[in-house]
Every structure is written in structure tokens, then in C-alpha cells.
Amino acid sequence: MSGTTILLVEDSPEDAEAAIRGLRKFRMGNPLRHCPTGDDALDYLYGRGSYSASTAPRPGIILLDLNLPGTDGREVLAELKSHPDLRRIPVIVMTTSSDPRDIQACYDAGANSYVVKPVSLEGLMKAIQQLTDYWFQIVVLPNGAD
């Protein structure tokens, strides 16, 4: 899965930068796209707005924050998992929320994993390494997910 595009949907510049650094450190061969809002992510996935003339590659995996401005991560997740062409893309929710209602709602909506972001940079790097090891070395994805 070295050519699989990773889509990071994260509004916090600090969290996005840390995640991008970690992903590049552990998965150098994967193209990485960043969308700072849920609306931007949906535009990217549907080829709308600034992405309408783009040949943006379909991601093989999505890292999704829940608390986004505008269309939040919960709404993005529900939209993705209800769309026949997008629902097979694995979505890993990475958020600061450890609220059991959020966790249950995300799994009910079709999230493939739910990760509470560690507070420290070291903890975040370790979590990203474990995610990349699992999703890019162990898991076998269905055709069309990458």
C-alpha cells in the first residue's frame, strides 16, 4: 500500500503539522493530502469547488477529526459511509473526544477505528506509528479502497 493516498482532515494547524510529520516519518512513500475543514474534505472527495478541475487521487484511508468548523467530522463520516463509491474507504477518527457517546456514534456511522489523540507529541507519534503499522502493513483492504 505504498502508493495509497492518505487524506488528513484536521482543522488545528498544530495537530495537522504533527500528524503530517509523523505520517511522513513512518510512511514516506504515501502521498498525503490535507483538508482543514469537513466542507473542504467533501469537496475533495466529490471533485467540487477548487477540486473540480483537479485529478485529486481517491484516498485509500482517511484520518478524520471530529470537531471541525462548518460540516463537522460526524457529518463527514455519515456522508462518506452513505455514499456507494466512498463507503469502502477506511475512516480512522482521530479526536480529542473520549466521550462514550461520540465513540458509539462514530462506530454506528461506520468508522473503522476511533483513536483519542494523545496530548503529548511523543504520544501522538507513537499512535501514528501504530496506526501506520496496522493499516499499511497488516490490513488487507477491499478492491477500490485505494
Instruction: State pLDDT tens for residues 79-126.
Output: 999 999 899 999 999 999 999 999 999 999 999 999 998 888 888 888
Total tally of structural domains belonging to the chain: 1
Q: Cα separation of 74 and 88, whole Å?
A: 17
- Classify residue 85: in a domain, yes or no: yes
143 pLDDT tier (thresholds 50, 70, 90): low
Q: H-helix or E-strand containing 92?
A: strand 91-95
| Start-end of H helices in 12-139 | 13-26, 38-46, 73-82, 100-109, 121-133
- Classify residue 146: in a domain, yes or no: no
Q: Is the pTM of this model over 0.85?
A: yes
Q: Across the beta sheet with 6-9, what order do the strands follow? A: 32-35, 6-9, 61-64, 91-95, 113-116
Q: Cα separation of 93 and 114, whole Å?
A: 5
- Classify residue 46: in a domain, yes or no: yes
- Lowest mean pLDDT segment, chosen from 11-15, 22-26, 79-83: 22-26
- Classify residue 145: in a domain, yes or no: no
Domain that holds residue 69: 6-138
| pLDDT per residue as tens digits for the range 35-90 | 999 999 999 999 998 888 777 888 989 999 999 999 999 999 999 999 998 999 99
Q: Higher pLDDT residue, 31 or 93?
A: 93
Q: What pLDDT does residue 146 have?
A: 44
Q: Cα separation of 103 and 86, whole Å?
A: 21
Q: What is the CATH number of the domain that holds 49?
A: 3.40.50.2300
Question: Is residue 140 classed exposed, middle or buried when 0-12, 13-18 and 19+ CB atoms within 10 A define those classes?
Answer: exposed
Q: What pLDDT does residue 28 have?
A: 58
